[in-house]
Amino acid sequence: MTEPGNAEVLLRDLLTHHSVVAGLDEVGRGSLAGPVVVGAVSLGAWSAPPRGLNDSKLLSARQRERQCPEIANWALEWTVGSASAAEVDEWGVRDALALASRRALRRFRVTPGLILVDGPLDLVRGTGRDWVGADLDYSSIPVQCVVGGDRLVPLISAASVVSKVVRDAAMERLGTVFPEFGWAQNRGYGTLAHREALRAHGSTPFHRHTWRLFPSPEGVKGR
């Protein structure tokens, strides 16, 4: 696990040792409904990232939308992969994220020589058990975990932006089918209004049914 003091120097150095480096970040891990989405952005040579690039959570929706074409122009490639709520239920969130990560990596035309991920956990390998995504094998590619990478490492910041924009758009589309849950606003997360709608209307096929969807009398929140 790496905590870089100077992310630009780190990335420049990595690009001298690997012809292509990719950054991955996820969104939707803690939501009650909707998919988990992993963004993947690769770079083949150092160039200055788009101005204002940062962790998607620190940017407004308008800023994220504006940065997407700038990221596309800056990066060698960018892709996204997702895993459905049903796959989260079947495999657990860590392995669903690994499945989404591998689906994103599969869409690259050029396979990266190194993968950088945000946080302390390997998004690509998940829990390491045998599971449905085993045919998407990226075990030969080293993964470097970077704590705070979505703020510090431009490739991971870019991945956080594209994953957030893609997932938000997906939740807005689902929200037109199930407007009572307010997904265009809460993005499937466990807000009070979302939980009250669940109590009033029940769950949908897009909810994660292995999670605690309904508030308990003690007010215990979903995981």
Residues of the chain with confidence (pLDDT) below 70: 1-6, 130-136, 215-223
Q: What is the pLDDT of residue 138?
A: 80
Instruction: Give yes or no for a contact between 137 and 154, defined as CB atoms under 8 angstroms apart.
Output: no
Query: 8 φ, ψ to 5°?
Result: -65, -45
Predicted TM-score (pTM) above 0.85: yes
Q: Give the closest residue to 126 by CA, choosing from 113, 139, 108, 112.
A: 139
Q: Residue 55 is encoded by which pair of tokens? A: 């962790």
pLDDT of residue 8: 74
Q: Looking at residue 19, what is its pLDDT?
A: 94
Give the model's pLDDT for residue 121. Answer: 92
Q: In b/e form, how buried is each residue of 74-103, taking b as 16+ CB within 10 angstroms?
A: bbbbbbbbbbbbbbbeebbbbbbbbbbbbb
Tokens 């009070």: give the residue. Answer: 192
User: Given this model, what pLDDT does residue 212 score?
Assistant: 87
Query: Which residues make Cβ contacts (< 8 Å) with residue 122, sequence separation at least 6?
Result: 143, 145
Q: What is the DSSP letter of 220?
A: P
Model pLDDT, residue 4: 41
Per-residue confidence (pLDDT) for residue 146, from 0 to 100: 92
* Angstrom distance (rounded) from CA 94 to CA 92: 6
- Is residue 28 within 8 A of residue 36, CB to CB? The reply is yes
Cα torsion at 31, 54, 25, 171 (round to 10°)? Answer: 40
Are 222 and 31 in contact by the 8 Å Cβ rule? The answer is no
Round to whole Å and give the CA distance between 160 and 115.
14
| pLDDT at position 132 | 52
Domains of the chain by start residue, with CATH? 7-170 (3.30.420.10)
